[in-house]
Chains A and B, each alone.
Chain A
Amino acid sequence: MRYRFSLRGRGDLTEWRDAARAFLMAGIVPEYIEWRTMDDADGLFGFDENHLPPPHPDCEPMTVSPAFIRLAQAVLCHSDPTRFALLYRMLFRMMHGGVIHGRHLLQMATDPDVVGASRMAKSVGRDYHKMTAFVRFKELPLKEGTAGRRRFISWFEPDHFIIARVAPFFQRRFTDMDWLILTPKGSASWDGETLRTTDEPAEKPDLRDETDELWRTYYASIFNPARLKVKMMTTEMPKKYWKNLPEAELIPGLIANAEANVIEMARKAASEPLPFHHRIQEAAARAPVEPMPIAGTLAALKQEARHCTRCDIHCLATQTVFGDGPPDAKVMFVGEQPGDQEDLAGKPFVGPAGKLFNDVIGEAGIDRRSLYITNAVKHFKYEPRGKRRIHQKPNMGEVRQCRWWLTQELELVRPKLVVAMGATALFALTDMRQKLEDVRGEPIAMEEGRMLFVTVHPSYLLRIPDEGRKAEELARFREDMNRIKRLAA
């Protein structure tokens, strides 16, 4: 037996779902159902013959995935008359299609039915989006002397039956005003308490709003005539929308005059600046320069290092990360170079390695505030990798260039004990390229009665993958810090 079924077809899921469920439970194949809407020529009379078959005795309760319901909700808003049959066919295939065509149907992005439904859903999505974009509200002034919520009206012409779908968007957004949106496919309104929608066609009202003139001014001024790209505009804002957009009447004129405006702009040579400009320039010249710290101090050296361009790393990094600590510290720690966090904060040893360093010296009873902490190289060298920066070891040329600063730091702070953490620091301080293990853990005499102590860099400890070895190495590092504490005393 063949069936004919008529629906209102205004984007409502329930009416289709109830019918589809009954047909499916009766085991009716898609080819035997003719779906109609009340907009069809004889559809209006069709409701009388809406007979649904009784369920098949063997049928079992059915479920469909939420993804299919979401898809169906969107597809049913489309104005294509084949949408009901398409959805029923998909439903039928999902229930009866076996493994391949069965419940995985929606994942088969290349299946003709899935492609067809996705296209319709996409078109509804676009219509929804364009409605949120191109509705223009016009204010209806309140009667003089009356107070209350402000009232706005809009006329819009969507392609599909989306009013009920979009209305909540406008409610969420324009909560503090009353509004009414009229369309040929239904209307929606909000009064601060109730959101109402109907699918009855509305008439286009005659609307006017003074603020449109300001909007047109803005639209014309934000346009750059030197970059005319009309096709791009019409792809995103097709002409069918123009009749309800207050700004669209300007478009032909803006396009026509664009080239002339650009040529006119090019023709005019630059004119002489106004007195305003000269006054500013003079004022800038008179402005007091930043007070320079007294020459020969650590503060002056730090100031000077801010603008260091001795090697190429400087313009890759955020800033010079200079040494930090009291200018008369007894102990100076030297690391390799600032890392990601240090580069942003402008202070040495504030990242993960710095935290480990703080913990270990804290356990050894060393007060970080008493130390002068610096690096062999003062700028962060790295390789960008997506959203991260991968640390890169500075080369010997860069270390030598940066020694210029380290040497002066040593001369000004005059520490009793210098701690080199890692091979780069050791090389920067001594020009020695020795295995760290050979010189680690015992004080080495330097010039001017200074002592050098060599240990590993704390970031080395963070990189050891094996937990057992890591604990061992951490213990050795702790031991080194204890020794430093005794040497400094």
Chain B
Amino acid sequence: MKKSLKERLAILSDAAKYDASCASSGTVKRDSSATGGLGSTEGSGICHAYAPDGRCISLLKILLTNFCIYDCAYCINRSSSNVERARFTPEEVIWLTLEFYRRNYIEGLFLSSGIIRSSDHTMEEMVRIARELRTTHNFRGYIHLKSIPEASAHLIEEAGLYADRLSINIELPTDSGISRFAPEKRPDNIRRSMGKLRLKIEEMADPTLQTKRKKTFAPAGQSTQMIVGADGASDATILGTSARLYGSYGLKRVYYSAFSPIPDSSKNLPLIKPPLMREHRLYQADWLYRFYGFEIGEITATQAGGMLDLDLDPKLAWALGHRERFPVDINRAEKEMLLRVPGFGTKTVKGILSSRRFGRLRLDDLKRLGVSLRKVQPFITAEGWTPHRLVDRTDLRAMFEPKPEQLSLL
């Protein structure tokens, strides 16, 4: 008997939950006031709900189908798994997207799919959904399509006309990891597809000669995801791969997904609690690389075995490994060095730079900027404050380590 729409929604969203991204940000501003249609995007994304896993629900994240001819060990939808299978028709995906959107549950659609028949066939159906949402239904909300690396160039090009973001998952940080766990996927194909996409995005961003206008093509760029903890790659390897991906393909984001046990799991994989803290530290390091002027090598160099310290955030760990660079005088230091003080974010640094032109800053001023004094005190000097060789204390690390906690069983 055919499963009901509700039953299939349960299966095909369950199958999509291992994709970390749910972002709806970074695209162009547009709305429906001129077209009289439905939907808008206003720069920053909106999280319409949060699940008890603490993750944002911004998009209707579903698979077109979870039938798949690939057999990737880490994937819940691999062909050898015995999960229940289902598929939507393109019309059903369109209906769900629009009806969910009208009730303000979501910002748009994140559509992915298992590979059925061929890459092109699957991609064609996904593109059709995006096209009909945009043209037939005048939908101006957010669309993220997970593209299929082997799909033909013309399909990717068409997808970019309707989607805000396109993504291809790199899956694992090393080529050998991909060959081991995803035997049908080819790392060089994935890289080549990302390269082609970057070229296409750049080509379309060039104003044309006739109209002097940029064409809209995947305005929120491309992103990717890496699974953390399924293979043996170290954090240094993972972050090195991210740096290469950011540099090579102009990715907007690399998402890290702590490997999470899946139903009917393959025996080759660790069936443990997902390494959530490790994932968190990787995101912090990624942030330091993109917004705080750190090189990947600096972040991982002082860390044993290339693994980030789980007890301390990577910026604090770096500071403790480079005590000779501290304390930093908040009234004189350059922006680059202020950004390296543990406990200062980009906004705090902006506030400091702007305020110190009018007078010397004291600890009270920092407190008013919302800074945690306990964290920054050992690393700075301010008007009326010198840390008295606090950075030389041997128990400095212990001051920041989390209190021991009873472990719970899985």
Contacts and interface: CB of A to CB of B under 8 A. Distances in A.
A150 B102 contact: yes
A109 B195 contact: no
B248 A389 contact: yes
Contacts of B357: 107
Nearest to B196: A344
A102 B5 CA distance: 63
B37 A172 contact: no
Contacts of A280: 69, 71, 79
Nearest to A267: B271
A277 B80 contact: yes
B52 A254 contact: yes
Contacts of A408: none
B334 interface: no
A218 B60 contact: yes
A5 interface: no
A176 to B, nearest CB: 5
A211 interface: yes
B38 A270 contact: no
A98 B36 CA distance: 51
For chain A, give the interface size range: 35 or more
A209 B103 contact: yes
Nearest to A232: B54
Contacts of B36: 175-176, 192
Contacts of B138: 176
Given A214-B5, A343-B195, A227 B103 contact: no
A173 B32 contact: yes
B358 A104 contact: yes
Contacts of A387: 246-247, 250
Contact of A255 (B52, B359, B365): B52
A386 B243 CA distance: 7
Interface in B280-322: 289-290, 296
Nearest to B246: A387
For chain B, give the interface size range: 35 or more
Contacts of A100: 358-359
Given A173-B40, A227-B54, A233-B54, A110 B79 contact: no
Nearest to A135: B104
B101 to A, nearest CB: 9
Interface in A131-171: 132-139, 150, 152, 154, 169, 171
A222 to B, nearest CB: 5
B358 A107 contact: yes
A224 B53 contact: yes
B105 to A, nearest CB: 5
B233 interface: no
B81 interface: yes
Nearest to B8: A217
Contact of A228 (B53, B57, B267, B366): B53
Nearest to A384: B247
B273 A251 contact: no
B96 interface: yes
Nearest to A233: B50
B38 A174 contact: yes
30 contacts: A107-B354, A108-B354, A109-B369, A115-B368, A129-B46, A133-B47, A134-B48, A137-B103, A139-B102, A171-B33, A172-B31, A172-B33, A175-B35, A211-B103, A215-B100, A217-B9, A224-B18, A227-B276, A229-B54, A229-B276, A232-B50, A232-B55, A233-B54, A236-B56, A265-B261, A265-B263, A268-B264, A315-B174, A319-B192, A344-B248
- Per CB-CB distance, the 10 closest pairs between chain A and chain B, nearest first, are A232-B54, A229-B54, A384-B247, A172-B31, A110-B365, A109-B351, A344-B195, A273-B80, A175-B32, A223-B51
Given A271-B82, A284-B184, 19 more contacts: A107-B354, A133-B46, A133-B48, A134-B49, A137-B102, A172-B31, A174-B32, A209-B103, A214-B9, A217-B9, A218-B100, A227-B55, A232-B50, A266-B271, A271-B264, A277-B80, A318-B192, A344-B198, A344-B199
